[in-house]
Structure 1
Amino acid sequence: MKTTESSSHYDNLENMSIAELISNMNKEDQTVPVAVSKALPAIEKLIEKIVDRMAQGGRLFYIGAGTSGRLGILDASECPPTYGVSHDMVIGLIAGGDTAIRKAVERAEDDPDQSWQDLKANGIQELDTVIGIAASGTTPYVIGGVKTAREKGLLTGCITCNEGSPLAKVAEYPVEVVVGPEFVTGSTRMKSGTAQKLVLNMISTSVMIKLGKVKGNKMVNMQLSNQKLVERGTRMIMEATGLAEEQAKERLLKFGSVKDALDDWKQE
């Protein structure tokens, strides 16, 4: 029996009050960071290897199905606005294609060969990294893509919530976060999904910091895509230079990023 499919510690959920339901869910959720902490050494090793590859021009691919695929797409889609990188630097792929982001595509996850075709369509190359995301660790779409990528010399990792899964066996750097039974038996969008999101946060954030996309604790390369971010960038420049708000904002809008604005100010 997979841990992710094992029976919930709770029963007769339909008879619980709303207060009992959310209290018990909260209790279960609190176990997730503890499970992630046990996987930190494995996460560290994977990140170190990713940074090495990406510093040489490699890219990062996430592949998954269902919730796992959507979480990979979410993490990838947030890298450009947060860190000012190109949209093809971190790419999330989901079984069934973009349609599956909103609606389940029947049996899409059962094809072990389609993931490599999807990766090839995105110009996969030697310096790239492929991370398979699957709570069960048994999804054919994910296993097939990771296995082929590793055979072709790419760096491979995975994020799974079962110990000793087929996915972990084919990945060079597996990350196993065993969170235990879900509150609703088998509903891996809950604790497993939370664990996967936490690990993805660690991977992309650490990689971007090590690639120089953060200065101090500030997102100095963020895209100025709305008024909130313009105001944030203006404050960053004010803090770093002592300039008045109007001058800081003018400089920010002129150069398009906090980093470029500050680099120019230092040269004056």
Structure 2
Amino acid sequence: MSGGHAAARTLAGALSIEALTAGYGGTPVLHDVSFALQPGEIVALLGANGAGKTTLLRTLAGLMPARSGIIRLDGTNLTELATEERARRGVALVPEGQSVVAELTVEENLRLGSLWRHRGSARESAIKAIYELFEPLARRRSSAGHQLSGGERQMLALGRALITEPLVLALDEPSLGLAPLTIAKIFGALRDIAADRGLTVLLAEQNVTSALSIADRGVLLDLGRVVADAPSRELLRDSTLRHAYLGF
């Protein structure tokens, strides 16, 4: 998480999804999905419930196999790699409902997340950087996960992902159940991280306005297919598209 290390990685993190088809059992959910993210770009993945957002993120992380198509990170084909190997190569997923061990303290959660990336003083520096990014966690470092507020748990889930120093951060509904002020703080932190450290972010969100307020682009899914891929401002201005697929 150090400035020099982050700067060395700012040119990495180019993600491409090429003709991806995936699903559960015998039924495809994603159909020939293609789009790309540039290093440091935030892309909002939009669509109604059942559009395929979670399926896409799970397939990206290796939790679901692709039936066809290719996922590349900086030109490397990830499609056949195991979840653990994808994580080591720089893919981090924060699933819906967060990824916090409720019985462990904030500090223990962060140490657990840092085990395979950092050692010794580097681990202490990485944890310190998370506390500086999310100050409420520093005040609650000795509190168990189940004692945290919803916003604090989401910050901790993000901290656990960021401490692995990913190239690509995939987030599934991070604003779910949170107060507007907390959402603004978390999304603001995501925007700053992407800009300062070159982190590539794929943000699946039902909160369309908040997501597009920090995203460079939006990719709109409908029934597992890409129906729009455009700059955020264009999507917000396109009332026909918004009414047809986003409900506002």
Q: TM-score w.r.t. structure 1 length?
A: 0.28
Q: Considering Cα pairs closer than 8 Å and 6+ residues apart, tell me whether 1 or 2 has the greater RCO.
A: 2
- Structure 1 or 2: larger helix share? 1
